Structure 1
Amino acid sequence: MIFKDLCIMSSKDRELFYKVAEGISDIFYVLDYHWKFIYLNQEAERYFLVQREAVIGKCIWDVFPQAVHTILYEAVHKAKGSEEKLRFDAPSFSELDVWQAYTIYPGKDYIIILIKDITKRKEEQRLSEEFFMRVFNTGLSMMTIKTLNGRFVDVNKSWLRNTGYHKEEVIGKQESDLDIWASPETRENINHLLQQGPIYNYEVEFKTKEGSNRIGLLSMEEVEIGAVKYYLEAITDVTKQKELEKEMAKLDSLNMIGQMAAGISHEFRNPITTVRGFIQMLSDRKELANIREYFDIIIEEIDRANSIISELLTLSKNKTLNLRRDNINICLNKLFPMIQATAFNDDKDAYLELSDVPDICMDESEIRQLILNLTRNAIEASPSDGKVWISTYQEGNEVVLAIRDEGSGMDPEILSQIGTPFFTTKSDGTGMGLVICYRIAERHNAKIIIDTGAKGTTFLIKFKAIPE
C-alpha cells in the first residue's frame, strides 16, 4: 500500500502524494512516533480550525489536549509499530454530537490517520434501531434477540406475556436453561434449518413457564445490530387457531355422520323393527323355550342398535330444537334423584351444589341428555366409594355447569381424541356419548372445557346467560 511506502518516497513523489491528499474530502493527517504532526490536509485545517504551519512539528496531544485518553489516543498507541491497519467508529474529540469513522495506517516510523464524518449515517442508524426496537417491543408476535449461540439478549412484552416469564428471569440465559422447546428435536431442527438460511413460518411447539405446551409459527434470521450479529426470532402463537381447526374438523365429521344417520334411519329401522317383532313372537312359542335366552340376547342387541341410531340422529345438523328461556338448576333438581340412585348402585356418592344463576336459552330434553351423559361418565370414572360433584355458578356473562369426578384423569393422547366420533375407552361403549354432548353444546352456543389431572376430571359447560 502506498501509505506504507511514505517514508521511502522521493521528495517529488511525496509532494505528489500530499497534493492528492489535498483533494481528499476527509480529514487526513500524518504523525511521527513522537506524536508530532508531519502533515495535515486542507480539510484537517478547516475542521480543526488551525493553520498547518502552526502545528507541523508539534505534538498532537499538546495541540489537542482533549484528545488524550480518548478512543483515538488508545488506538494510535496500539497501532504504533504494528503492520495492521485499524478501523473503528468513535465520537469526535473536538465536536459534540459528531461521529467519525477512523482508519489508522501504521508505517515504519509514522502513522497516517484518515477521518470520515459519519454523523448522518449514525443518526440514520440510530433512528432505524429506534424504530426497530419500537416495533420489537410493541409487536403482537413473540420476539427475541439472541446471540448466535442461543443466549437471550432481549425479549419483547408479547413473549413475556405468552410464556409467563419475567424479563430478569430470561436475559443472559441460554435456551437450554429455560427448556423452551417441547422436545429436544425442535432445537436441532431449527439449527439445521438456519444453516440453509432464514426460517419462515416453521411450526414449533414451545413451553410456558408453567409447563403447558403451545403451538407457534417460527420465523428466524440473522441480523446485525451495532456491528454485532444476532438472531432475531419471531413466534406467532397459533394455539387457538389450531384448536379451532380441530373443532371444525370434529364438527364436519359430526355433520357428516348426522346427515348419514338421517338418510338411512328410516330404511334401517323398518326392517330391524320387523326382525324384532318376529324374534319376540318366536320367543313366546313353547317349543322354543329352551333357546329363549338367545332370543333375549338378540332383542337386546337389536334395541342397542336402535339406541345407536337414535344417538346418531341427535347429531343431525337440521334437528329442530325447542329452545326457550329456562333455568338449568330446575333441570338439575329434577334429574338429581336419578343421578344419585345411579351413583349409589355403583357404590359411589353424588353431590349437588347449586348457586343462583341467570336463565339460559335451552332445549330441556337436550340439556337432560347432556347432563345424564356427563354424570354417567363421571360416575364410571370415579373409584369405588368415590364422589361426583355437580355444581352451577355464574362467571361474568356465562352460566357454568361443572361436573367433577375423582378418577385418575385423562392422558394427553386420550384428551386430544375426546369428542371424536366412535372414539371410546370403554369395552362396551359406542364412542358417541361425548360426541352428542359436544353437538348439544354447539347447538346451544355453549363451550365444553375439560380440566383434568391426577386427582380427577372436571367438565365445564359454559352457556351464555340471558340478561335480566
Structure 2
Amino acid sequence: MHSIEKDREKLLREMASMRRSIDELEQSRETLRRRNDMLKVLSQSSANHLEFPFAKINYQPIAKQLLKLTGALCVAVNTYHEAERMATTRALAGKKQFLQKVVELAGFSPVGRIWPIDDEYLVLYKTGRLVEINGPYELLFKNIPGLNCLNFENIYETGKIYGIGLVRKEHILGNLTIIMPAGKKLEEIDMVEIFANILAAACLRNNAEKELGESRQRYLSLIENFRDAIFVARSDGRFINANPAASRLLGYNKNELLKMNIPDIPPSELVEVIMAKFNELVEKGVLENFETILQHKNGSHVPVEISATVLPEGLYLGTARDIRQRKGIEECLRLSEERFSIAFNASPSLMMILNFKTGRIIDVNDSFLLKLKYQRHEVLDRKTTELKFWVKSEEPGSIRRKIIEKGTVYNREINIYDSSGEIHVGLYSADKIYIDGKEHLLASINDITQYKNLEKDMARLEKLHLVGEMAAGIGHEIRNPMTTIRGLLQMLGKKEECVKYKEFYDLMISELDRANSIITEFLSVAKNKHTEFKTQNLNEILRKILPLIQADAINAKMQLSVATENVPDTPLNEEEIRQLILNLVRNGLEAMPAGGILEIRTYSENGEVFLSVRDQGKGIEKEIIDKIGTPFFTTKDYGTGLGLATCYGIAARHNAVISLETGPGGTAFSVRFKVNRPSLR
C-alpha cells in the first residue's frame, strides 16, 4: 500500500506539471499568432502606404489595424506641423466605452483638433523608437487646453501607455499613441516600430522624390533584414527579388532564387496545390495564412505559412514564415495533452477535475464512472454535493478549507456514495492546477473498500481462530467429566428410589447435551480444524438435506423456493457443507414472519460456484452488519451467537467467501466457492 501511495503521489505531481507546461505552450502559440497577424498587415499595406500621396492617406483604418494587432485599449494617430509647432489628431480608434468617456469628459471629440506643441513633445518623440509614457501628463502635455485635467486611470482601467514618433531624417512628422488595457504589455515592439517607420515614410511622400527614394531604400533595408522570407514575383511566377531570409529558408543564394519560378520551390506532389493558390492570389489580390511545405536545396521539407498580396506595379509580394518551431510547439502541446489524457483516463484511481471556484466537475476518468456506476453526462457540470456524493455532509467544506490553507490534500480517508447508494471507502488526494489561467482541482480517490472489508474479514477470522484454539484446548478436558456426569445421571435416573426425580435428571442430561453441542460449535469455527475434502457436487449435498429443510419450513409456517442450475463439481466436505446450508436456512426462517418465502439457489458464474439463501425478513440494521459472523454476537433472545460464526469458519476452510446484501425487503447470504483450488487438505 505504501508503494502504491508513493507512485500515485508521483503521478499527481507529474500530471500537475503537464498541465503547467500546456499553459506555457499555449502562451507561446498565442505570441506566434500575433506576430503572424502583424506580418500579414505589413505585407499587405506597407507598399501601398509608400505610394499614397500625403493628402490621401486614410489614417482611421491604420489606427484600427494597429488597435487590432496590438490588442490595445486605444490608438491615436497625430501629425505634426513643424513650422507651426502644432499637432493634429488624425485618427482615434479604441474600445467604444473608453472613447465615449473621453468625449464626455473633454466635451468634444479629439479627432480633427489642432493642439499646440511644446519642447517636451519633441524630446519624447525625436528618436523614432517606442517609448513608455509615464502617465497622462506626458501623454497630453501641460499646455493642451481643456485636456490637461483628464486622468485616464480614473475614467477607465488602463495599463501602460506607449508612444512612438513618426520620424524621417531627424524630422518629427507625427506620432502614434498606444494605450494598453490594465495588466497587459505591448509585446510586438519591433513590429510596431516597423509599422511606424512605414507610416512615417508615407507621411513624407509629399516632400520630394528624393525622400521617397530614401524611404523605399529604408523599406528595402527592412525587407533585407526581416527574419521571415520575402519573395517578389511576376505574374508568370518568376522571382525578381528575395531577401536573405529566403536564402536561409531554402538553402539557395539570391542569384539561384532569381533564376527560379514558383513551381520550383515546393515538393513535386504539392506543385499543383501551390499554383492553385497563386492563381487565387491573382484573382482575389490577397492570400492569407496558407500552410504548406517548401523543399530545401538539400531535399528536406520545410513547413511554412505563406501570406501574399498584389503590389501596385502588378507584382506579387509574398512572405513565408518558417513554422517548424511552431509545429514543434504544437506537437509538444499535442503530446503533453495526449500523455495527460492517457495518464488521467488509464489511472485505476477515481479521478476528476473540478472548477475550484464553482465546484463543478469538468471531467472524470473511466475508473470514476465504472466504480461509481455513472454515465459521463450525469456528472459533467455538476457539483459533488448535487450528486449526493458525500456520506458526511461536512466533508467537502472541510476539504476545501484545507486546500485553501495548505494548497493540497493527501490521503484523507473519506466515505462516498455511488449512484446506487452503496458506500465506498477511499483515500482522497487533491492538488490545485491551472487551466486557461483559472484555478481547478485535480482530485484522486483511491478506492480502499475491498481493503477495508478484507481488514474486517481478517479480524473476524482471527476471532474465529482464537475461539477454535480455545475450544480445541479445553474441549477434551471438559467433555470427559461431562460424559462421566451424564452416565451417572442416567444410572441414577433408572433407580427405583430416584424415579420421582426423573424430570430433574432428564433436564440435567438435556443441559449437558446442550453444553456438549456448544463445544462442538466451538470446534466448528476453528480455522485450523482438520478437514477432509472430496470433489463432489453442491447440488447433490443440497438434494440430500432438502427433506430436512422442507420439514423446518413447514414447522415454521414458511414457504420454500429452491432453484438449482448445473454447477461443476468442486472440492467440498459434505458434513460441513450440510451444516453451512442448515445454519443459513434456519437463520433465514427465524428472520421472517409466518408466510414468508425462503429462496435457495445454486448457480455457476465466471468459473465459480455460488450458494445463495435469501429471506423476506426486515433486513439487518446497518449498525450491526460489521458484527455479523463475530463469535458470540447474536440479536436473538436465545442461542450462542456461533451459528454464523460457524458458517464463516467453514467458508474459510473451503477457501470460500461469504457476502451479504440486506435491505427492508430481506437479506441474502451468498457463498462463493472456487472450482479449482491449489490443494486439498
Q: CA deviation at 1:59?
A: 8.4
- Cα distance, 1:241 vs. partner? 1.3
Match of 1:166 in 2: 375
Residue range with higher mean Cα deviation, 159-168 or 202-211? 159-168
Structure-to-structure mapping, 1:98-137, within 5 angstroms: 105-106=160-161, 110-111=177-178, 114-115=186-187, 128-137=336-345
1:82 counterpart letter in structure 2: F
Moved more, 458-467 or 134-143: 458-467
Partner of 2:424: 214
How far apart are 1:340 and its partner, in Å? 1.0
Q: CA shift at 1:307, angstroms?
A: 1.0
- Deviation digits for residues 170-209 of structure 1, max 9, x if unmatched? 2222222111111213223323432431110001111111
Moved more, 175-184 or 449-458: 449-458
Partner of 1:156: 365
Contact 1:104/1:111 (CA < 8 Å) preserved in 2? Answer: no
Q: Distance in 2 between matches of 1:74 and 1:192?
A: 39
What do residues 361-393 of structure 1 show as CA deviations (whole Å, max 9, x unaligned)? 111111111111111112212221222222322
Aligned length: 406
The two structures, once aligned, show a CA RMSD in angstroms of 3.6
Q: CA deviation at 1:152?
A: 1.4
Label 1:145 to 1:354 Cα distance change in 2 as closer, same or farther (>3 A): closer
The correspondence for 1:273, drawn from 462, 466, 483, is 483
CA distance in 1, matches of 2:618, 2:70: 68
- The structure with the largest alpha-carbon Rg is 2
Distance 2:372 2:553 in 1: 42
Which amino acid is 1:426 matched to?
A: K
Deviations 1:111-149 (A, max 9, x none): 366316997997667765553343223322111111223
Distance (Å, rounded) in 1 between the aligned partners of 2:66 and 2:334: 25
Alignment deviations for residues 308-341 of structure 1 (CA, whole Å, 9 cap, x no partner): 1111112233322221121122211211111111
SS at 1:184 equivalent: coil
Match of 1:83 in 2: 153
For residues 240-251 of structure 1, the aligned pairs below 5 Å read 240-251=450-461
User: Partner of 1:138 in structure 2?
Assistant: 346
Structure 1 residues 30-69: aligned runs within 5 Å: 62=61, 69=68
Percent identity of paired positions between Structure 1 and Structure 2: 40
Q: TM-score, normalised by structure 2?
A: 0.54
Distance of aligned partners of 1:205 and 1:244 in 2 relative to their CA distance in 1, 3 Å threshold: same
Instruction: Give the structure-1-normalised TM-score.
Output: 0.76
Q: CA deviation at 1:158?
A: 1.6
Once structures 1 and 2 are overlaid, which stretch shifts more, 74-83 or 273-282?
A: 74-83
- The DSSP-based 3-state class of the residue aligned with 2:342 is helix
Are 1:360 and 1:464, in contact at CA under 8 Å, matched by a contact in 2? yes
Kindly provide the amino acid, as one letter, of the partner of residue 370 in structure 1.
Answer: L
Matched residues in 2 for 1:274 and 1:315: separation? 26
Counterpart CA distance in 1 for 2:621 and 2:468 is: 28
Aligned counterparts of 2:462 and 2:571: Cα–Cα separation in 1: 24
CA distance in 2, matches of 1:297, 1:371: 30
Give the direction of change, closer, same or farther, for the CA distance of 1:271–1:223 in structure 2 (3 Å limit).
Answer: same
**Structure 2: where are the runs of 5+ without partners?**
1-37, 76-93, 100-150, 164-175, 180-184, 190-324
Q: Which amino acid aligns with 2:619?
A: G
For residues 214 and 227 of structure 1, what CA distance do their matches in structure 2 show? 34
- Summarize the alignment of residues 29-428 of structure 1 with structure 2, pairs less than 5 Å apart: 62=61, 69=68, 72-73=71-72, 77-78=94-95, 82-83=152-153, 105-106=160-161, 110-111=177-178, 114-115=186-187, 128-148=336-356, 149-197=358-406, 198-289=408-499, 291-428=501-638
Does the 8 A contact of 1:358 with 1:466 survive in 2?
no
In the aligned structure 2, how far is the partner of 1:299 from the partner of 1:129?
Answer: 80
Distance 2:59 2:374 in 1: 53
CA distance in 2, matches of 1:414, 1:75: 72
Q: Show CA shifts across 1:265-317 (max 9, x none).
A: 11222222233333444444555555543443333222222111111112233
Name the CA distance, whole Å, in 1 between partners of 2:503 and 2:58.
120
> 1:138 corresponds to which letter in structure 2?
A
